[in-house]
Amino acid sequence: MKESPLVPAANNVHVSLNERSYEIEIACGRLRSLSNALADLIKGNSAVVVTDTNVGPIYLDHVRQQLSVNATKVETLTVEAGEQSKSVNVCDSLWQQLDELGTDRNTTIVALGGGVVGDLAGFIAATYARGLDFIQVPTSLLAQVDSSVGGKVGINLPHSKNMVGAFWQPKRVVIDPEVLDTLDESNYIAGMAEVVKYGLIMDAELFEFIEQNVARILARDHDILGRLIAWCCRCKAAIVKEDERESSGARATLNYGHTYGHAIESVFGYGEFLHGQAISIGMVCAARLGKQLGMVDQSFCDRQRALFQSLGLPVRCPETRHDELIAAMQRDKKVVSGQLKLILPKGIGTVAFLRAPADSEIFKSLIND
């Protein structure tokens, strides 16, 4: 990757969190001039890049070279690509390696990869030496529009996704929509489920914009992608500003479709469904439950489903193991004082909470139309 003298001005989004505030820089080609984007943060520090076996071979050399412009030393830690790397064992190995590298408080961790790398590297940054600075350079659509923003970092336990973690905000997020060119088709499409989710939970205009631009989205048009990513990051920044630690309820709305989705991922295995695919099905089920309870009508369900289908996202719940799905939903982190709390739609752009839905209603919502 060559440095471009013509990198366009960044489309920044500010995440306003008092002393933990930071910028999300979004611009096509930004990775090519990463040294400029990070100069103020890296200067005089050493950097440790955490990446994985998929992303490292494509971008690591360039990112190391860019960081070397300002950093005193640049090291790399590479983990196996895939959800299984968000584990206690991998964390343990990374902590030991940081120790062997002589990592100190003047080290900045740079997460180069998708959601797994961002969550894992962020958790390492949050915990090693009681906290190191970290920077997110997300390379998947899901990470660019959701997981790299807002400071949720963590790892999985064998039966509970994201159960061990922290809120640890990055110092900056640098997003280059061009890196999505190298993302495989299913991960790209799966990331679109999170993009549509923002429209559904809080922004009808965004939902309509997606409906009107499906062809350009499928063609990975950089201009549309830059606009969509910035739009989603503005939505997420507003939510995180209001409810950084998911205590008032605003942030929990981001989990629309996720309780169903996490259950599908955990019952059918994390390799079977990508996260975005599982939450696409999850949002379809949540809308069906909303309809059962009179919160939305059939036309809402049809419109939501049509958009997912036009993007190539799955909309049908697996037709077996419904009891296990319900049990997994009841184990979800969103169970408070023994009561499951679901986010259900009230219309395009608005959602509401439903406490303690009956298992029989959940069961019905799993049955495909």
Longest Cα pair distance anywhere in the chain, in angstroms? 60
Cα-based distances in Å from 253 to 98, 119, 279, 345, 356: 36, 20, 13, 10, 16
Q: Which is nearer to ligand GLY, 47 or 149 (CB)?
A: 149
DSSP 206-224: HHHHHHHTHHHHHTT-HHH
Contact range with ligand GLY by CB under 6 A, out of 36-44, 145-153, 177-185, 212-220: 145-153
Binding of ligand GLY by 265 (CB under 6 A) = no
Find the shortest distance in angstroms from Cβ 54 to ligand GLY. Answer: 21
Residue with tokens 């439950």: 289
Write out the two tokens for 368. Answer: 């495909």
Min dist CB 254 to ligand GLY, Å, is 4
Using rule CB under 6 A, residue 152 touches ligand GLY: yes
**Closest approach of ligand GLY to the CB of residue 165, in Å:** 11
Q: Is 150 in the site for ligand GLY (CB under 6 A)?
A: yes
Q: Do 228 and 253 touch, CB atoms closer than 8 A?
A: no
Nearest Cα to Cα of residue 24 among 130, 193, 151: 151
Within 13 Å and on the Cβ side, how many CA atoms surround 161? 20
Q: What phi and psi values does residue 58 have, to the nearest 5 degrees? A: -85, -45
The smaller minimum CB distance to ligand GLY, of residues 20 and 321, is found at: 20
| Residue 254 engages ligand GLY in binding (rule: CB under 6 A) | yes
Residue 312 beta carbon to ligand GLY: minimum distance, rounded to whole angstroms: 22
Which residues does the annotation mark as catalytic? 130, 152, 194, 236, 246, 251, 255, 258, 262, 275
Query: Which of 32, 86, 251, 288 forms a contact with ligand GLY (CB under 6 A)?
Result: 251
Whole-number minimum distance, CB 357 to ligand GLY, in Å?
21
Question: CB-based contacts of 177: which residues, under 8 Å, 6+ apart?
Answer: 26, 28, 144, 222, 225, 226, 229
Residues 217-246 vs ligand GLY: string with x where CB under 6 A? ------------------------------
User: What is the total count of residues that contact ligand GLY (CB under 6 A)?
Assistant: 6
List contacts with ligand GLY (CB under 6 A): 146-147, 150, 152, 251, 254
